[in-house]
Amino acid sequence: MRRRAVVGALLLFVPAGGGALSGSPILPPQARDLWPGRAVVSRGRRSTVVGHDTAPPGLLDELARRADGAGRRVSGVLGRPLRPLVVVPESKREAARLAGVAGVDGLAAVADEGRVIVVPEYFAALNPTGRDVVLTHELTHVAAGTDRLPVWLYEGFADYVGYRDSGLPVKTAAAELAAEVRAGRLPSALPGPEAFAADGRDPDRLARAYQAAWLACRFLADRFSEGTLVWLYREAQAAGVDRALASLGLSVATLTARWRAYVRDQLV
């Protein structure tokens, strides 16, 4: 379980009709104009959570505490302070609309411009560790960006930060992939966009894609260092992943070979 400092989160009701939310200088721009007159704000030490006034009691305060913890974890890896912003819509339909995507089926939260959008139906189904992992994963996307990167690197990096302090054993966090590997089916390539496409018929396939990506980043941190993984992420954004890997004496092919050996070693 996580070690988490307990911080007081102040619950503020934004007065109806007063324009207090949209005009408030204290809310970050990505949270203004949400649900005027019907929004509730909860603040952690560094985090801000904005939700509907219909949100279940205590949920926004819980999110503020967890977002503070997630912010500390992401800051600890990226080396700079963060002010997490979490938005809590009423439903998965509204979450998809806010994120500007067709659907968010099966996702507990999504990263959007400067904010994490919680998907209430799926977030509620997670246990406390899962909630922390998801918030940390999405906040990593928000803070580190995903542009110009292969999907295995940005999803794997977000899970690397997400699971880093979770205390979960690797075979538990990567249970679906471990079952495949034990059955003799070791993945042959780093997961690409098709592996991350939602597949309602086989949710395990999507889980395996995330786990495979996670273990690629975990391998890089174990083999080199966490600082090298963060450097690689930045360098890949600036110069492309091939050049970044070449600086470490790797190509996608040699990384793939070493990652496969690492996956077998970790999961069997």
Question: Are the CB atoms for 79 and 226 separated by under 8 Å?
Answer: no
35/154 with CB nearer Zn ion: 154
29/103 with CB nearer Zn ion: 103
Q: Say whether residue 245 binds Zn ion (CB under 5 A).
A: no
Handedness of CA 246, 250, 254, 258 (dihedral sign): negative
41/158 with CB nearer Zn ion: 158
CB of 253 to Zn ion, least distance (A): 25
Stretch of 9-17, 124-132, 157-165, 232-240 contacting Zn ion, by CB under 5 A = 157-165
Helix axis angle for 128-144 and 59-78, nearest 10°, is 50
Q: Say whether residue 158 binds Zn ion (CB under 5 A).
A: yes
112/155 with CB nearer Zn ion: 155
69/162 with CB nearer Zn ion: 162
Buried b (16+ CB within 10 A) or exposed e, 189-222: ebbeeebbeeeeeeeebbebbbbbbbbbbbbbbe
Stretch of 76-84, 147-155, 188-196, 224-232 contacting Zn ion, by CB under 5 A = 147-155
Stretch of 35-43, 150-158, 173-181, 248-256 contacting Zn ion, by CB under 5 A = 150-158
Residues that bind Zn ion (CB under 5 A): 155, 158
